[in-house]
A and B are shown apart, each in its own frame.
Chain A
Amino acid sequence: MTERELDTHLVTILRELESLEYRQTSPRRVRIDVTREALPGLLELLKGRASYVHLSAISCVDWIEDNEFELVYHLWSYESNHLVSAHTRIPRETARYISVYDLYKPAAFFERDIFEMFGVYFEGSPHMEKFILTEWDGPPPMRKDFDAEAYVQETFNWQSYHPDWLKELEEEGGGVAIRPEEVRR
């Protein structure tokens, strides 16, 4: 199958489904926006009929101002050499979605990762438990409302350097003028 053929092939499939938008963002990248109900069906079609067998990654973005999580499924076809990114949004409060593990085995890792980092629960995913953050009791850290720097300042201490040259400067009337924290935005 040549690339051009697949384009039309992909387009036919995409036309079959309602409630999605797609656009080619670069020669080998296609972006699809799809409602959360239609996404599993879309993936099934993409895998079953359009040779998108490789789930490259699932990314999650916390759009806190929209009160939504965006899930992005990056799929790659070894036959047509195209990358399709399927975007969908789920509400932030419920933070639940359906696992695609039965379609794509790699999903288990990414879903667990998102579960840990964003607190999105994937129904039907095999490992909805902690993996990286086993020793972490706080909120899902990748959420935008978790202020890591404030947590760090509260939890940890810093070195209180006071070398001789600084003492000398202080005697002369100098000393620390601007601490690094003061210039951070």
Chain B
Amino acid sequence: MRPENYQAQSHPPSNEYELFIGPNHPGIEGNYAFKLKLHGDVVLAGKADGGYLHRGFEKLMEGRLWIQNIALVPRICVPDPVPMEVTYSMAVEDLCGLEVPERAQWLRVLQLELSRIAAHLFTFGGHAATTGMYTTSYWGIADRDLILDLFEALTGGRVYHIFNIPGGTRRDVPPGFLEQVSQTLDYLESRLPDYDNLLFTNQVFITRAKDVGAMTQEQALEWGVTGPNLRATGLAFDVRRDDPYLVYEQLEFDVPTEAAGDAWARAMVRRAELKQSFRILRQVIERLPSIGGPVRAPIPNPLAWNVPAGETYARVESSKGELAYYAVSNGGDKPYRVHVRGPSSMHAVQVLEWLAEGARLEDVAQIMFSLDACPPEVDR
């Protein structure tokens, strides 16, 4: 038969049917698939289908020198690449006992928070687009681009910065950069009311997002939910504050929470985090000029660098949640094993499956975007 001519097969009458979302689908963040079993509009069961972005990162890393992996790791989560670099660097530094100069630590915080803002703006856009609110995504992505401009000025790359290496950062800030950051922050802050008007106080959006994909705090803890998604259930936990790294201990910021645990609460937590990131960045801009010293500890030549045997678990708070690297060295010039624990490995698979159950077809995409799931973190 001519293959295009699917004839609906005659099956015993049933109200149940299956639907694939993805891998190439606007309602899916990235190259990822989700199978749904539906009864009418109600999802009976959901099943994640990953691996479309699988590159075998962990295997690749075992075949490359410690420093070469710096170019590889940001690719594990494309929308939010800086935490990947920083965490990997932190893991290697921990293994080597390298002391990172203070200025480099501040520079890392600067990048991490810029990256968080960029990722959240991207997520707002994505989340809104799943509900048909395309204007927000156009705005969000255009505003995110200003952050990318900052990254370009700082690191020489828009998306893949490859700027943090074990020992510190590769360069210092270019002249006039902090003013540029400050101006961009001013601009973004002035844009927040626009976003509020358009999205966060939009009645239709609230109708769509409230009570969608809701989980209780107990469920969240049981399911291993982290990051903004966990905070949206009312637990004020942030790795930056509770397992501090870099110089976060010297910074003032709040850990915003929401109680409801639904898509709406998650969006609101992200929105509040945006403000906290602005606040952190303002402090960095204020403090950075007074901190002297080098931006990188002396490291051996990359071609002749054996990292002492050992293992370490480095973790940070990425924009999506808890990100961790488990790195093992056998004393060689290449990692013996690196395990990447991306936050989305929970959110995009099990949590999404559980939340999709009983949800409506209209809301599945929204649940995924409100969890800020990043498939490459799952597939690696």
Binding site for B on A (CB under 8 A): 28-29, 53-57, 59-62, 72, 74, 78, 81, 83, 85, 104-106, 108-110, 113, 117, 131-135, 141-142, 146, 148-149
Cα separation A113 to B38 with both chains bound (whole Å): 27
- Name the prevailing secondary structure of the A interface residues: mixed
28 contacts between A and B (CB under 8 A): A54-B226, A56-B224, A56-B315, A59-B326, A61-B336, A72-B326, A78-B221, A78-B235, A81-B243, A83-B315, A85-B313, A105-B222, A105-B224, A106-B224, A109-B346, A131-B48, A131-B49, A131-B50, A132-B50, A132-B51, A132-B54, A132-B378, A134-B51, A135-B51, A141-B59, A142-B58, A148-B59, A148-B63
Find out whether the CB atom of A56 lies under 8 angstroms from the CB atom of B324. yes
Cα separation A113 to B313 with both chains bound (whole Å): 18
A109-B63 contact in complex given A29-B313, A56-B322, A131-B51, C-beta closer than 8 Å: no
Cα separation A59 to B349 with both chains bound (whole Å): 18
Which residue of chain B is the closest to A144 with respect to CB atoms? B62
Find out whether the CB atom of B59 lies under 8 angstroms from the CB atom of A56. no
- A109-B350, A113-B345 known, 18 other contacts, Cβ within 8 Å: A29-B313, A54-B221, A55-B224, A56-B324, A57-B324, A57-B326, A59-B341, A61-B328, A83-B313, A83-B315, A104-B224, A105-B224, A108-B350, A131-B48, A131-B50, A131-B349, A132-B378, A141-B56
Contacts of A56 in B (CB 8 A): 224, 313, 315, 322, 324, 341
A74-B63 contact in complex given A109-B345, A131-B50, C-beta closer than 8 Å: no
The contact string, 1 if C-beta is below 8 Å from chain A, for chain B 241-263, is 01100000000000000000000
A184 to chain B, nearest CB (A): 9
In chain B, residues 341-380, which have Cβ atoms closer than 8 Å to a Cβ of chain A? 341, 345-346, 349-350, 378-379
User: Is B237 on the interface with A (CB-CB < 8 A)?
Assistant: yes
Binding site for A on B (CB under 8 A): 48-51, 54, 56, 58-60, 63, 221-224, 226, 235, 237, 242-243, 311, 313, 315, 322, 324, 326, 328, 336-337, 339, 341, 345-346, 349-350, 378-379
Find out whether the CB atom of B242 lies under 8 angstroms from the CB atom of A81. yes
Which residue of chain B is the closest to A148 with respect to CB atoms? B59
Find out whether the CB atom of A74 lies under 8 angstroms from the CB atom of B222. no
Find out whether the CB atom of B56 lies under 8 angstroms from the CB atom of A106. no
Find out whether the CB atom of A60 lies under 8 angstroms from the CB atom of B339. yes
Contacts of B315 in A (CB 8 A): 56, 83
Cα separation A29 to B312 with both chains bound (whole Å): 9
Which residue of chain A is the closest to B60 with respect to CB atoms? A148
Cα separation A81 to B222 with both chains bound (whole Å): 17
Which residue of chain A is the closest to B346 with respect to CB atoms? A106
Find out whether the CB atom of B54 lies under 8 angstroms from the CB atom of A133. yes
Cα separation A81 to B346 with both chains bound (whole Å): 20
Contacts of B56 in A (CB 8 A): 141-142, 148
B347 to chain A, nearest CB (A): 10
B241 to chain A, nearest CB (A): 9
Which residue of chain A is the closest to B328 with respect to CB atoms? A61
Find out whether the CB atom of B313 lies under 8 angstroms from the CB atom of A132. no
B312 to chain A, nearest CB (A): 8
Cα separation A135 to B313 with both chains bound (whole Å): 31
Cα separation A53 to B219 with both chains bound (whole Å): 12
Which residue, of A29, A56, A133, has the highest number of chain B Cβ atoms within 10 A?
A56
Cα separation A55 to B52 with both chains bound (whole Å): 26
Which residue of chain A is the closest to B333 with respect to CB atoms? A185
Find out whether the CB atom of B337 lies under 8 angstroms from the CB atom of A62. yes
Cα separation A83 to B315 with both chains bound (whole Å): 10
Find out whether the CB atom of A78 lies under 8 angstroms from the CB atom of B237. yes
Which residue, of B242, B341, B378, has the highest number of chain A Cβ atoms within 10 A?
B341
Contacts of B313 in A (CB 8 A): 29, 56, 74, 83, 85
Contacts of B224 in A (CB 8 A): 54-56, 104-106
Cα separation A110 to B378 with both chains bound (whole Å): 10
Contacts of A81 in B (CB 8 A): 242-243
Contacts of A110 in B (CB 8 A): 345
Which residue of chain B is the closest to A149 with respect to CB atoms? B63
What are the nearest 6 A-B pairs in CB distance?
Answer: A106-B224, A132-B51, A57-B341, A59-B339, A59-B326, A61-B337
A111 to chain B, nearest CB (A): 11
Cα separation A104 to B224 with both chains bound (whole Å): 8
Contacts of B223 in A (CB 8 A): 105-106
Cα separation A2 to B49 with both chains bound (whole Å): 42
